[in-house]
Amino acid sequence: MSKTKSYINDFLNYISLQKGDSPHTLRAYRSDLEEFFNFVKVEPEKVEPILIRGFLSEQLLKGKTKTTVARKLSTLRSFFLYLYSEEIIDINPARVISSVKIKRALPKFLTVDDAFRLVESPSEDKFIAYRDRAILEILYGSGIRVSELCGLNLDDLDLKEELIKVRGKGNKERIVPIGKKAKEILKKYLAIRQILRIKKKLVVDETPLFINNRGNRLSTRHVRRIVDKHARAIGLIEKISPHVLRHTFASHLLMEGADLRVIQELLGHSSLSTTQIYTHVDLKHLIEVYDRSHPLSKED
């Protein structure tokens, strides 16, 4: 094994232990680092700032988005900072590289009416409909990530207190409310889930909250298909993902006057700056209301 591969493995083990990043994130780190060293063709000790700038420029010339290039730079910064802290290199070459400037897009979110129509769209008296309705209620009513929803277990649910325990990024736990409507739908879903298990003699894993017809835990891909299916069923033209429901949850809370730090806690954001993007959404909403309502905004 080359020194470079050894350093990359050590780095990934370090951040896995320190930050608890997901396997998906670790794979992205590895891919970025391997791509970089295939480009520069030198060991980490010989990397200079001009090589990093050359790699980033080449990525842009290849048509990679600024968001992707910024992520790759972030990976390189973390990697070389690790090597510097471990005294493997004397100078951190990524330290002098300027950040890639990205125009941050405002998150897409649904109107209140569309959100309600979407959540209420599964209406049949069947296992799948109750399950889908419960999923939509929780995604919109609690704002949790799709990965967090799929990771929910039965013992994470406290119907009496109307709360769920969520494991977020870095395996950090938080408690979020689910609301009375979600509570009632969940009761019906859990009852029919038990009937299904007995009727079909399924060897159901008792752990996961949301399962498919075969008794297996739902994947994030499956949940994305569920959301998209019901969005199309009510005539929404744009593709709606679980993350749009997360944005919708946050945007609607802010519009109703919720404190930004409360929203930060509910979303599981480690930094308030991540949550502050919703203030721009709210400002846009206020301008639209002003344009519709204030006499000075109307043409003669």
Indicate if 285 belongs to the active site.
Answer: no
130-139, 153-162, 176-185, 197-206, range with the lowest pLDDT: 197-206
Please state the φ and ψ torsions of residue 187, each to the nearest 5 degrees. -60, -45
The predicted-structure confidence for 225-258, as pLDDT tens digits, reads as follows 999 999 999 998 788 999 999 989 888 888 887 7
Among 30, 53, 169, 222, the active-site one is 169
How confident is residue 294, by pLDDT bands cut at 50, 70 and 90?
very low
pLDDT average, residue stretch 171-193: 90
User: Is 84 a catalytic site residue?
Assistant: no
Paired strand residues for 167: 173
Residues whose CB is less than 8 angstroms from the CB of residue 200 and which lie 6 or more positions away in sequence, other chains included: 213, 215
Residue 174 catalytic?
no
Q: Give the whole-number percent of the chain exceeding pLDDT 70.
A: 86
72, 131, 133, 145: the active-site residue: 145
State the catalytic residue, choosing from 117, 167, 181, 269.
269
**List 117, 165, 167, 243, catalytic entry:** 243
> Is 243 labeled as catalytic in the residue annotation?
yes
3-class SS of residue 173: strand
Which three-class secondary structure state does DSSP give residue 198?
helix
**Given pLDDT bands bounded at 50, 70 and 90, which one contains residue 265?**
confident
Q: Tens of pLDDT along 2-13?
A: 889 999 999 999
Q: How far apart are CA 145 and CA 138, in angstroms?
A: 10
Confidence of residue 99 (pLDDT cuts 50, 70, 90): confident
**Mean pLDDT over each residue of the chain, to the nearest integer:** 85
Band (48; pLDDT cuts 50, 70, 90): very high
